[in-house]
A and B are shown apart, each in its own frame.
Chain A
Amino acid sequence: MTQQLFGRNGVTSPRVPSGTSSGGSNITVTYETKPGLGWLSIKNALLNIITLTFYRFWAKTAIRKHVWSCIRINGEPLEYTGTGMELFLGAIIIFSVILLPFILVVQGLQIAGYPIAAVIAQMVFGLMFLLLIGMAIYRARRYRLSRTLWRGVRGTLVGSSLKYSLVYFGTYLLSMVTLGWSNPAMNLELQERITKDMRFGETPFGFRGTAGPLYGSYALAWFATLIAMVGLFAAIGFGFSDYFVELAGKMKDIEKDPESFLTLILVIYGTMFVLAIIFGVIWSFYTAYEMARFASYTYFDNAKFNFNATGASLIGLWFGNMLIIILTLGIAAPFTVQRTIKYFVDRLDVEGWVDIGKIEQSQARMDTRGEGLLDAFDIDGI
C-alpha cells in the first residue's frame, strides 16, 4: 500500500518552474477542482453496467484525464494521454497469457482426473502470481508516467521491472521470516529503486536516506499490533468462551440449523472487520510516517520534497473513501480518486529550485499497452 500511495505522489510531482527559461524556479503544486466529475461518475456507472464492466478501462482513463488536469504545477496543468484501448489491450493480453492458461490447466487437470496435480498447479501459479506483483506495480507506474505530460514533456521509469519484481518478492519472503521486521529496510530499498529509475523528461529523480529513523515508529506499530492481538484473543477466550462452546455444540448438526450457521458467518466476518479497522488504524500512523520520510529522501534537480502526511489524516482519507463507495454503491468512485490525489497534492511541498529550461523531452520508448497485470490483480483504484 505504501508503495502505491507514494507512487501516486511520485506521479503528481514532476516539478518545474514558471516563466523563466534560465536559472532555477520554485515549484508549487496545487489541486484545483473543476466541475464534471459527477456527470463522469454517472456516465461511467451506466456504461459499466451496459457493457458488463468492459467499459471500465475507458472509465478509468476518463477519470484520470479529469483528475490529472486538475493538478497544476506552477499553474500549468498535467495532462493524461493514455487511452482506454491501451488499458483494454493490456488486460486482454494478460488474460490470455496468464489467467487463461491458469484456468485451463487447473480445470483440465481436474477433468482429466488428477486432482492432486491440479492443486500443485494451483500452487505453482500462485507462486508465479506473487512473483509478478512487483512487475505489475512497476509497469503500471511506468505506463502512467509515460502518459503524464507537463508542458508537453512526459515521464518514465528507466529500470528493469523484473529486477524490481524479484526484490518485491524477496521483501515478501523476508517479511514472513522476520515477522515483519525487515519491512522498513526493504520498503526503503523498493522505494529507492523505483525513485532512482524515475525520470521527468530526461532528468532523473534522486533518493538519499536510510531506514534507521523508521524503526522507532515501526516498533511502536508492531508492538501495538501484538498487544491488540493478544487482547483480542483474550477477549474471545474469556469473555465469549461460553458462547463459543455453545456454538461448537450446534456445529454438529449445522445442516439442520441454518440459523447458527449464519451467526457463525457473521461472527467470523465481524471479527475480521474489527481486526481490519484496528490494524488499519495502528498502521496508518506508521504508513504516514514512512511516506513523509521517503518524500524527504527524494529530490529532483535542486528541489527536495516535504510531505505532511499524518496518521489521523490518512485514516480520515481512507474512511471517507470507504463511506463514499458504500453510500453510493461505488458510483462515486471517481471522487475517491480525486480525494486521494488531492490529499497528496495538498500536503506536498517542494523546497528549493528546478532549472526547468534544462528538462528535455524523454527519449524512452513508450509502452503501447498499459497495466494489464495490475488490472488482473486488482491492486489499486486509481
Chain B
Amino acid sequence: MAVQATFFDGETATSHPVMVDTAFSTLRISGDTIKSVVWNYADIKAIEKARVGDQLRLTSVHMPGARLIIPAGRVSEKICEQAPHLLGGFNLQRALHTTGWIAASILIAFGVLYGLLNLAPKFVAGLMPAEWREQLGRQTEKTVVKSAARCTNPAGQRALLKLAGKVASGTNSPPDFSVRVYDMKLMNAFAVAGGRIVLTRGLIKAAETPGEVAGVVAHELGHVAHRHPEAALVRVMGLQLLISLATGGGDGETLGNLAGLATLLSYSRNAERQADAYAENVLTDAKIDTIGLIEFFKRVKKLQDKLTKNNDKVKILFSMLSTHPGTAERIAKLKPLPKGVAVEVLTPVEWKALKNICGKKEAGKKT
C-alpha cells in the first residue's frame, strides 16, 4: 500500500512531496527531491498522540529532526495497526518508566524532608557557635514573652538560683543555662536557644512544693542539653526553604516570625521523652524527689481536663501541646526515690521568697 505524503528532512524547511510505501512491514519514504529512507515501525514516534481517522505526524528515533505527515486514510490506519504505540495505549516499558520516576521522586521527597527537618536541624544545632545561640535565644525570648515584665525580686532570685544550682548538681556536665521568671498569667515553662529557661508567674503560683519547680527546671534543662530549641529553629528554616522551593519565591521571612513559629510548633514526642529521661537522671543524682514532678504532671492533667471542657482557646492551646507524651505515661515512667534519701530543695523561707519573685502583687494577695 502506498500513499502521497509530506516530508521535512530536518535540514531545511523545504516541504518534500513523497510516496510512503508500507509493503515490507516498514515505511519506505521516497521522492524526487530526497534520498529514499526506510523507517522501521519500532523506531517511529508520533509527534502528537495519534488518533484513528486523523493525519499522522511521525518522526524516527534515527532522524529526530525529520517529520513525516501522512494524511488520514487507509495507510494511516494501517500504520497505527502495525505500530500501536503511536496511539499512546498501554505500554509496559513506559508504565515502568513512569512508575520508576514517581517512586524515585517520592523517595527523594522523603529523603529531603527527613534530612531537612530531622537530621540537619540536629546536626546544625550541635555546631552552632555560642554567640549565635545566645543571639537567637534573646530574640526568641523577646518574641515569646512580648511585653511581660521580668520578675526580679532579689530574695526570690536568690532562691531560684539556689534551686537551679541544686538541679544542675545532678549532672557532671551541666550545659550553660539560665533561669528567668516572667510576669505572665499563663502557666508555662519553656527553653529557648542559648540555654535560656523561662518560667511564668502562673507556673510558680501553681506549684505547691519546690520539688515541683525543680522537676520542671530539670525537664527544660533536658531540652537545653539536647539543644532542642536550636534544632527547632533550624527546622523551621528548613520548612521555609521547602516552601520557597515549592512556590519559587524567596522573600526572607523575618527572624521574629520564625522564632515565634518555632516555639509554637512544640517538640516531638521523642524530644519530650529525651527531656523526661534527662530530668529523671538529674533529679535522682541531685537527690531531689521525682514525686514533685509526678505531682506536678498530675496537677497539669487535672487543669487540662478542667480547662478544655469549656474553653475553646485553651483547647486549641493544649492540642498544640499534645505532642507531649500522655501525662499518665510520663507519671508511670518516673520512679520515686527510696525513703529518706531525698534532700530539701529550698527552705520554707526560700520557697516563700520564690513564690513571691514577681513582687508585691503576690504578697499583697496573700495577706
State the A residues within 8 Å of B (CB). Answer: 16, 18-19, 21, 52-54, 56, 65, 69, 76, 79, 91, 95, 98-100, 102-103, 106-107, 110-113, 122, 150-153, 201, 356-361, 375-376, 378
User: Of B73-81, B84-92, B239-247, which stretch is located at the interface?
Assistant: B239-247
Which A-B residue pairs are the 8 nearest by beta carbons? A99-B250, A113-B135, A359-B13, A152-B8, A21-B14, A152-B10, A151-B13, A151-B8
Are A152 and B65 within 8 A (Cβ)?
yes
Are B12 and A357 within 8 A (Cβ)?
yes
Are A112 and B132 within 8 A (Cβ)?
yes
Are B11 and A111 within 8 A (Cβ)?
no
How far apart are the CA atoms of A358 and B65 in the complex, in Å?
17
Are A102 and B136 within 8 A (Cβ)?
no
Give the shortest distance, in Å, between A380 (CB) and chain B (any CB). Answer: 13
With a CB–CB cut-off of 8 A, which chain B residues contact A91?
248
State the B residues within 8 Å of A (CB). Answer: 8-16, 33, 47-48, 65-67, 129, 131-132, 135-136, 237, 240-241, 244-250, 252, 254-255, 258
Are B135 and A102 within 8 A (Cβ)?
no
With a CB–CB cut-off of 8 A, which chain A residues contact B136?
111
Give the shortest distance, in Å, between A117 (CB) and chain B (any CB). Answer: 13
How far apart are the CA atoms of A378 and B248 in the complex, in Å?
8
Are A153 and B246 within 8 A (Cβ)?
no
How far apart are the CA atoms of A153 and B64 in the complex, in Å?
11
Give the shortest distance, in Å, between A101 (CB) and chain B (any CB). Answer: 10
Are B67 and A152 within 8 A (Cβ)?
yes
The interface residues of chain B, by DSSP majority, are classed as mixed
How far apart are the CA atoms of A378 and B66 in the complex, in Å?
35
Are A358 and B12 within 8 A (Cβ)?
yes
Give the shortest distance, in Å, between A318 (CB) and chain B (any CB). Answer: 23
Are B12 and A359 within 8 A (Cβ)?
yes
Are B135 and A357 within 8 A (Cβ)?
no
How far apart are the CA atoms of A159 and B213 in the complex, in Å?
72
Are B14 and A357 within 8 A (Cβ)?
yes
Are A112 and B135 within 8 A (Cβ)?
yes
How far apart are the CA atoms of A100 and B252 in the complex, in Å?
10
How far apart are the CA atoms of A356 and B38 in the complex, in Å?
26
How far apart are the CA atoms of A358 and B11 in the complex, in Å?
10
27 A–B contacts from the bound complex (CB under 8 Å): A21-B15, A52-B246, A53-B246, A53-B247, A54-B246, A65-B48, A69-B48, A79-B47, A79-B67, A103-B244, A103-B250, A103-B252, A106-B252, A107-B237, A107-B252, A110-B254, A110-B255, A112-B132, A122-B252, A152-B8, A152-B10, A152-B65, A152-B67, A201-B13, A360-B11, A376-B248, A376-B250
How far apart are the CA atoms of A76 and B8 in the complex, in Å?
11
How far apart are the CA atoms of A19 and B250 in the complex, in Å?
51
Give the shortest distance, in Å, between B50 (CB) and chain A (any CB). Answer: 13
With a CB–CB cut-off of 8 A, which chain B residues contact A76?
15
Are B131 and A357 within 8 A (Cβ)?
no
With a CB–CB cut-off of 8 A, which chain B residues contact A16?
13
Instruction: Output the nearest chain A residue to B252 by Cβ-Cβ distance.
Output: A106
Give the shortest distance, in Å, between A205 (CB) and chain B (any CB). Answer: 15
Give the shortest distance, in Å, between A21 (CB) and chain B (any CB). Answer: 4
Are A21 and B33 within 8 A (Cβ)?
yes
With a CB–CB cut-off of 8 A, which chain A residues contact B241?
100, 103
Give the shortest distance, in Å, between A14 (CB) and chain B (any CB). Answer: 9
How far apart are the CA atoms of A47 and B242 in the complex, in Å?
18
Instruction: Output the nearest chain A residue to B69 by Cβ-Cβ distance.
Output: A76
How far apart are the CA atoms of A113 and B248 in the complex, in Å?
28
Are A111 and B33 within 8 A (Cβ)?
no
B12 touches which one: A52, A100, A361 (CB < 8 A)?
A361
With a CB–CB cut-off of 8 A, which chain A residues contact B247?
53
With a CB–CB cut-off of 8 A, which chain B residues contact A151?
8, 13-15, 67
Q: A151-B15, A357-B12 are in contact. List 16 more A-B contacts (CB 8 A).
A: A19-B15, A95-B248, A99-B244, A107-B258, A110-B255, A112-B129, A112-B135, A122-B252, A152-B9, A152-B13, A153-B8, A153-B10, A153-B12, A201-B12, A201-B13, A376-B249
How far apart are the CA atoms of A177 and B244 in the complex, in Å?
34
How far apart are the CA atoms of A95 and B9 in the complex, in Å?
39
How far apart are the CA atoms of A103 and B11 in the complex, in Å?
47
How far apart are the CA atoms of A54 and B102 in the complex, in Å?
13
Give the shortest distance, in Å, between A367 (CB) and chain B (any CB). Answer: 17
B10 touches which one: A69, A356, A361, A378 (CB < 8 A)?
A361
With a CB–CB cut-off of 8 A, which chain B residues contact A21?
14-16, 33
B249 touches which one: A18, A357, A378 (CB < 8 A)?
A378
How far apart are the CA atoms of A201 and B240 in the complex, in Å?
44
Instruction: Output the nearest chain B residue to A153 by Cβ-Cβ distance.
Output: B13
How far apart are the CA atoms of A253 and B13 in the complex, in Å?
72
Give the shortest distance, in Å, between A194 (CB) and chain B (any CB). Answer: 22
Are A102 and B132 within 8 A (Cβ)?
no
